[in-house]
Chain A
Amino acid sequence: MKKFTSVMIFLLVILGLTLIIQTSEVAKAKDSINVAVGSPPQTMNPHGSDSDANLSVMANIFEGLLYRDIEGKLVPGLATSYERLDDLTWRFNLRQGVKFHNGNDFTWEDVKYTFLRLREPYPVSEFLSFGEMISSVEIVNGNPWIIDVKTKIPVPYFANNLHQVFIMDKESTESRSIGEIGEKPIGTGPYKFVEWVKGSYLKLTANENYWGKAPSIKNVEITPITEPSTRLAAIVTGQVDILQDVPVELFETAKSNPDIELITRPARRAIYLGLGNKPGSPTSDIRVRKAMYLAIDEDEIIEKVMFGHAFPAAQIPDEPTVGYDASIRRFNFDLERAKVLLAEAGYADGFKIKLTGPNDRYVRDAQICEAIAKQLAKVGIEVELDTKPKAVFFPEVDEHILDFYLIGWFDGTYDFGRSFTKLVHSVATGYGGLNGSGYSDATLDKLLEESEKIVSPEARAEKLRLLNRMAMEEKIAVIPLHYQEDAYAIYKGRGIEFTPRADTWILFREMSIK
């Protein structure tokens, strides 16, 4: 008995020691990199998800006709050039000599197949509404390298969306099952798919036949780590090289760590408050809208709620977006003026309003709502808080039943015209889908509709800037709060060169190791 026990204990100790003595730093090859992301990729079907978490991964394997550089400028991709011929027609010159990862040639047939596939209700694509707008894809004068794409209605932002509509191989997509397409992607991009173990990692390797500049990092591993503190621990110990989404709560802890470097940039996403204007409601009075704007102390929200990690916003779009107007300024926080305006409007004693918002969607969303309720209480507006999970919140936005709500937005197409169509335009067929309060203003609606038919990009941008200015300064269609901040952590020891992109995509072709 004694002997048996001691032998067992001895064995256990030996086993424990061998497990522990193994150094925890795994030696890494010079040209490989491991990135930890907060949300796991959902599918390998490039049209299966339009979340940035998924598009970010897909953009390494697939390419669109166009591409965005780090700052969001539109540059050539699988198309070498493009032009808008009239309000319905777009012409593209296609790149020659490009091959898919399975060896198939890239042709105009693939483009046509991809574009028409988008509108199928099943297997559903999250670019369904974009696909529905396309009426035909044809070659020009028998030249298979020039195509004309026609849309059913004028889609001024058509080209602006093409960096995220990834071209699929017609032959292998038709011949494989939906399940296989969702697991084993075949694209034209700089990286080829190796292995996807869901929940563990996605491995990619450089495409040696890539038409463009060969990527300098050869092997890539993308690891999802959903728990923020574990994510931070993983980079502190050097198990991953780059970390996306450093949580604001842990920002200071991360900053004080000598082994990692933090890189931040203003995010594209703006957080704002939607406000209804149903006739007869207090908020249909522009003085009340302005008073609420003036009563919100955004500096305090940024400092106290966001721990300094946000940037004040005066409008919904960010700088690279068509329709952004740098001349728009925030109204300065002014309690006295707010009280005067409320009194003028006949609400000297304030009124009651319900503020709805998600509590699991944006950085500290529920806490922002709480701060706003406290601030508005100072001018007598009694805010009833109603924060709830996004799965409950967004259907309510979809039904346009809210009075006052917090929501965030950035436009994947970099086009304020499209944002406005969804967010502020009166609810009608094809319009106002995310206008949660059913806000409606005939002047603004008319301006947007006029802008849709303008073919010249410059003239259209001018019109959108006018629309944006009017919506923000004159009508106060929404109350903008702030842009979030993107924060990344880099493990210092490996000499990684990394510049974060405006769209938060992590594109390995843009990185290198010294």
Chain B
Amino acid sequence: MYKCIFRRLTQGVVVLLVVSFLCFIIFQFFGDPVLTLAGRYATKAQQDAVRIKMGLDKPFYVQYFVFLKNALHGDFGLSYVAQTPVLGLILERLPASIELAISAMFIALTFGIGLGVLVSLNPRNFMSRIIMSGSLFGISLPTFLIGILLIMIFSVIFRILPTFGRGAVIKIAERWRTGIFTIDGLRHLILPAFTLGMYQMAVLLRLTRGGMLEVLREDYIRTAWAKGLSPRIVIFKHALKNALIPVVTMAGLQFGELIAFSIVTESIFQWPGAGNLLLTAVYETDHPVIVAYVMMTSIIILFLNLLVDILYGYINPKIRYE
């Protein structure tokens, strides 16, 4: 078990190195930050002076090693545009992204698994058919359309929920603000969380249903019913637990994606998360922010994958790591 975790961690470090190196290669073809940094009126000589001072005249692999050296000391440099430390910029945005991702995941898990179980119990029921066709919308509608539709319906027509932003937040630490402890904050969370969670919800619903339908046909379930166990025990303990394995894998992988790729949802709702930061950084060729963001999300995804592997062992003791 520990050996396995150790192996995964070393693999993770290699992945991080490769990912950050790729970033630096891509930056070569990504537009020249000095053009905007030195201002519209700068001459070639002035641009070169800036380039030399910032070390951008060096070959990209040299820049990469300088970056690595600093990163090992916890210094990711200054953002070109904001001229403030990159790590601070990202850490300030990350709580908003994580909050949104957790809420979206919570919605996806409760409704996805809940409805999935419901549907699998009465697959031919009218209600089940409606839920199943509804889930198709969740999978096929693009996120920005869902977001704008939700704003249209709940904010503009019915005027019951706010259109953008995070609402009232409470400051927990220097760069850490949260909205989940205020009513205003929660109201602001509802629409973006549903928008972000919609796709995952639909996927989890279909996965749960499929797994459950298969498991419910097994002999041991028939035995359990025959023994006269209560429906709750049969459905949740015997059936659902065994149907959950693919669901957990999927949920774990998707959670990382929810944090890393919530860019669309974040920009529709002007949610001040890290995805929003990445988008502006890309527009402004702010390389230090981009590379730090990519590394941060890689770490999160690697960590979640590890967590999923460990969770397997607990859900299904048949899977053991040697």
- Interface of chain B residues 157 through 207 with chain A (CB within 8 A): 159-166, 169, 177, 183-184, 186-187, 190
Which residues of B are found within 8 Å of A239, using beta-carbon distances?
162-164
B41 at the interface (CB under 8 A from A): yes
Distance (Å) between the CB of A16 and the closest chain B CB? Answer: 9
A42 touches B163 (CB 8 A): no
A1 to B229, CA, bound (A): 14
Distance (Å) between the CB of B204 and the closest chain A CB? Answer: 19
A395 to B285, CA, bound (A): 13
B321 at the interface (CB under 8 A from A): no
Q: Which of A20, A179, A199, A227 contacts B272 (CB 8 A)?
A: A199
The tally of CB-CB contacts under 8 A between chains A and B is 172
- For chain B, give the interface size range: 35 or more
A230 to B35, CA, bound (A): 31
A199-B83 contact given A24-B161, A230-B164, A233-B151, CB 8 Å threshold: no
B164 touches A179 (CB 8 A): no
B41 touches A422 (CB 8 A): yes
Which residues of B are found within 8 Å of A179, using beta-carbon distances?
78, 83-85, 88
Closest to B88 in A: A179
A22 touches B187 (CB 8 A): yes
A237 at the interface (CB under 8 A from B): yes
Which residues of B are found within 8 Å of A234, using beta-carbon distances?
163-164
A151 at the interface (CB under 8 A from B): no
A198 at the interface (CB under 8 A from B): yes
A223 touches B284 (CB 8 A): no
- For chain A, give the interface size range: 35 or more
A233-B83 contact given A20-B160, A24-B160, A24-B162, CB 8 Å threshold: no
B215 at the interface (CB under 8 A from A): no
Interface hit among A338-346, A428-436, A456-464: A428-436
B163 touches A50 (CB 8 A): no
A24-B270 contact given A40-B280, A43-B82, CB 8 Å threshold: no
B84 touches A43 (CB 8 A): yes
B89 touches A198 (CB 8 A): yes
Closest to A434 in B: B40
A124-B50 contact given A129-B43, A199-B272, A229-B151, CB 8 Å threshold: yes
A236 at the interface (CB under 8 A from B): yes
A199 to B90, CA, bound (A): 11
Closest to A184 in B: B84
- Interface of chain A residues 188 through 227 with chain B (CB within 8 A): 197-201, 223-227
Additional A-B contact list (5), CB under 8 Å, known A183-B84, A197-B169, A224-B270: A1-B232, A198-B92, A225-B270, A237-B162, A391-B285
* In the A-B complex, the 7 residue pairs with the closest CB atoms: A199-B272, A126-B39, A391-B31, A182-B83, A121-B53, A200-B272, A129-B41
B interface list, Cβ under 8 A from A:
30-32, 35-46, 49-50, 52-54, 78, 81-85, 88-89, 92-93, 96, 148, 151-152, 155-156, 159-166, 169, 177, 183-184, 186-187, 190, 230-232, 267-270, 272-273, 276-277, 279-280, 283-285
A-B contact pairs, 25 of them (CB 8 A): A22-B183, A42-B82, A42-B280, A43-B84, A48-B82, A49-B81, A121-B53, A121-B54, A123-B83, A127-B39, A128-B41, A179-B83, A179-B85, A179-B88, A182-B83, A197-B272, A199-B96, A199-B277, A200-B165, A200-B272, A225-B164, A230-B151, A392-B31, A395-B32, A422-B40
